[in-house]
A and B are shown apart, each in its own frame.
Chain A
Amino acid sequence: LAKTTQPISMDSYEGQEVNITCSHNNIATNDYITWYQQFPSQGPRFIIQGYKTKVTNEVASLFIPADRKSSTLSLPRVSLSDTAVYYCLVGAPPMDSNYQLIWGAGTKLIIKP
């Protein structure tokens, strides 16, 4: 099973770009990388998903190097409302539910004014 390692916590300031790196050394060939955001007392919310290189959407970018052993979630110009826990998950091609998907402890991101 592909486990992930993320920093337990990070601090940043409003307006800064924040990069959260996730390590997944034993990622399998078919595994995708997915990031979720969770606010206190709410369910996780999907942010972005990718397989290789770079993926960008309206809220974040995901950078995946060629060896795919790590990935970086980039949040541009963060605000106080980005304070949350961010989870990196590896596994489960979107169309196949037979793969395991492991949720780690996540990274608690605190944005300061």
Chain B
Amino acid sequence: EAQVTQNPRYLITVTGKKLTVTCSQNMNHEYMSWYRQDPGLGLRQIYYSMNVEVTDKGDVPEGYKVSRKEKRNFPLILESPSPNQTSLYFCASSSRGRGDEQYFGPGTRLTVT
């Protein structure tokens, strides 16, 4: 089954404790990205990657890091989480780019206290 998986689905952590949210897709897609979704603000892109070893900032990259060492994986790293990063996070992939049909993961609900 074609899908995007994220782990963990739920995470509660404390300020400053480094964490990683994993994302994996099995569709051999070139393009992957991370979004955060906050009430009333819609989805905002954090980082995206056009291909292996190619990443670029989205609209709200501050406080986040990503890496793309393999085509199928695109982890999101929060080196020092803060309460304003409490949000619902989605990973997405598409075959050609963000304008193409994007496949979204199930989401990771992160709470930083």
- Tell me the smallest distance from the CB of A16 to a CB of chain B, in Å: 27
* Stretch of B14-22, B70-78, B79-87, B93-101 at the chain-chain interface: B93-101
- Tell me the smallest distance from the CB of B23 to a CB of chain A, in Å: 11
- Tell me the smallest distance from the CB of A59 to a CB of chain B, in Å: 13
A97 at the interface (CB under 8 A from B): yes
- Decide: B43 and A34 in contact? CB cutoff 8 A: no
Q: Report how far A43 CA is from B50 CA in the complex, Å.
A: 20
Beta-carbon contacts of A91-103 to B below 8 Å, as 1s and 0s? Answer: 1111111011111
Given the contacts A43-B90, A43-B92, A103-B44, A97 and B102 also touching, CB distance less than 8 Å: no
- Decide: A95 and B97 in contact? CB cutoff 8 A: yes
- Residue picked from B4, B35, B96, most chain A C-beta under 10 Å: B96
Contacts of A34 in B (CB 8 A): 99
- The size of the chain B interface, using a CB distance under 8 A, is 26
Contacts of B90 in A (CB 8 A): 43-44
- Tell me the smallest distance from the CB of B86 to a CB of chain A, in Å: 16
Q: Report how far A102 CA is from B45 CA in the complex, Å.
A: 9
Interface size class of A (residues with CB under 8 A): 20 to 34
Find the A residue at minimum CB distance from B49: A97
A81 at the interface (CB under 8 A from B): no
Interface of chain A, main secondary structure = loop
Q: Report how far A104 CA is from B40 CA in the complex, Å.
A: 9
Given the contacts A43-B107, A44-B43, A87-B42, A49 and B98 also touching, CB distance less than 8 Å: no
Given the contacts A42-B107, A43-B92, A95 and B99 also touching, CB distance less than 8 Å: yes
Q: Report how far A97 CA is from B59 CA in the complex, Å.
A: 14
Q: Report how far A46 CA is from B40 CA in the complex, Å.
A: 21
Q: Show 11 A/B contacts (Cβ-Cβ < 8 Å), sorted by A.
A: A34-B99, A43-B4, A44-B90, A46-B101, A87-B42, A87-B43, A95-B97, A97-B50, A97-B96, A101-B99, A106-B42
Closest 7 CB pairs of A and B: A43-B104, A92-B99, A97-B97, A103-B42, A103-B43, A46-B101, A94-B100
Tell me the A residues contacting B by CB distance below 8 Å: 32, 34, 36, 41-46, 49, 87, 91-97, 99-106
